[in-house]
Structure 1
Amino acid sequence: MKYLLDHIKKEIKLHSLEEDPNECCGLILEIDKDLRIMKCKNISKDKLNNFEIGPHDYLRGEKRGKIKAYYHSHPNDEIGTFSDIDKKVSLGHGIPLIMYSIKNNKFFEYIS
């Protein structure tokens, strides 16, 4: 998990806890050779079980830097299961998807 540096993990954890019980979502960007997160608004109709990043956040991310990965949280998932939708998002954009499980305090990565 080359994008999960300590400061990135810390920021994703904090974002996840801020949005709990809803899923949080965001982008991991490379800006001037540094990795940073960009929090995004979850526009899904079912925020408890899904995430969706809106087109405005994608554009904002692309303007700020190179999108290296997506991230989101699973507040109630204990085993780190990526949904079919999660996999399609990663495959469709050709970049890794990071998931943080709040219940067991672990990160998981799906690479398309």
Structure 2
Amino acid sequence: MLQKLKEKIVSHAKHQEPHECCGFVVLKGDEMVFIPCKNQAEDKENHFEISPEDFLQANSQGKITALVHSHPNGEPVLSLLDRQTQLVADLDFWLVCNDEIHIFPKIPPLLGREFNHGVMDCYTLFRDFYYLAGADFPDFERDDYWWEDGFNLYLDNMATHGFERLIDESAVQIGDVILMQVGADVPNHAAIYIGDQMVLHHSPRRLSKRDLYDGYWFKHTHSIWRFKQWSKLDFTVPLNSLALHLS
């Protein structure tokens, strides 16, 4: 990021305090420029809203590459509403907090992803689904066929990251993580239950997709896990993303 651009954005954010600032980063020719917008939200200290006119004005100046806003009284993480807005806007988000800019890349569509182990795989899909619902889970470096090298990456991390194993697997609900054991001694594949006996998952050499949870996948199920704080999340956001790319 160009230092001059960063300084301009941080300066604008400080000038707008205690209100949240907002604006766009636009590629104008070969130059990245910041175009500030008016925050027209009712509660400007905790939210931001950009008018359609400001969006059109920014769009007329070049290619919009990122949406900028600030958290003058908050943490350097996107709120659930921010994540919903990012999904609709389909833009990277640049968040100003404590005089620093934190960049949150846009989440690619959950369906139709090309498989690339360690970059775009079943765990990536798991993380992104929950990110859209309002939860952040760490990434971890994982070699291909890690389960053949004595690692147990799913079972070693599920409880640590706030999940508990279901005793009654017939009580599966939307958002539950289904761990599957496919040609391995440990669970090495994850799917998300999305309702109506359907799961979302990403298998090697295949595009990410929805599948009926029966037959092959049911046979290879190792365990089902529920996020303990699931009631604080909003699974309608990732489900809406799925619906959007199914239409």
TM-score (norm 2): 0.42
Could you list the runs of 5+ residues in structure 2 that have no partner in the other structure?
A: 107-247
Counterpart position of 2:83: 87
Counterpart pick for 1:110 among 91, 104, 108 = 104
Please give the root-mean-square deviation of Cα atoms over the aligned residues, in Å. Answer: 1.1
Is 2:14 aligned against 1:20?
no
Deviations 1:44-69, CA, capped at 9 Å, x for gaps: 01000001111000000111111000
Asked if structure 1 preserves the Cα contact closer than 8 Å seen for 2:40 and 2:49, the reply is yes
Report the residue type matching 1:65 in the other structure.
G
CA distance in 1, matches of 2:85, 2:52: 13
1:97 pairs, out of 93, 97, 109, with 93
Identity %: 32
Deviation at 1:88, TM superposition (A): 1.5
Q: How many angstroms does 1:107 deviate by?
A: 1.7
Q: CA deviation at 1:92?
A: 1.1
Q: TM-score scaled to structure 1, two decimals?
A: 0.89
Q: For 2:45 and 2:20, how far apart are their aligned partners in 1?
A: 6
Residue of structure 1 aligned with 2:4, choices 2, 7, 22: 7
Per-residue deviation, 1:105: 2.3
Structure 1 residues without counterparts, runs of 5 or longer:
none
In structure 1, distance between residues paired with 2:23 and 2:12: 9
Kindly report structure 1 stretches of 4+ aligned residues shifted beyond 6 Å. none
Q: Which has the higher strand share?
A: 1
Please identify the structure whose Cα radius of gyration is greater: 2
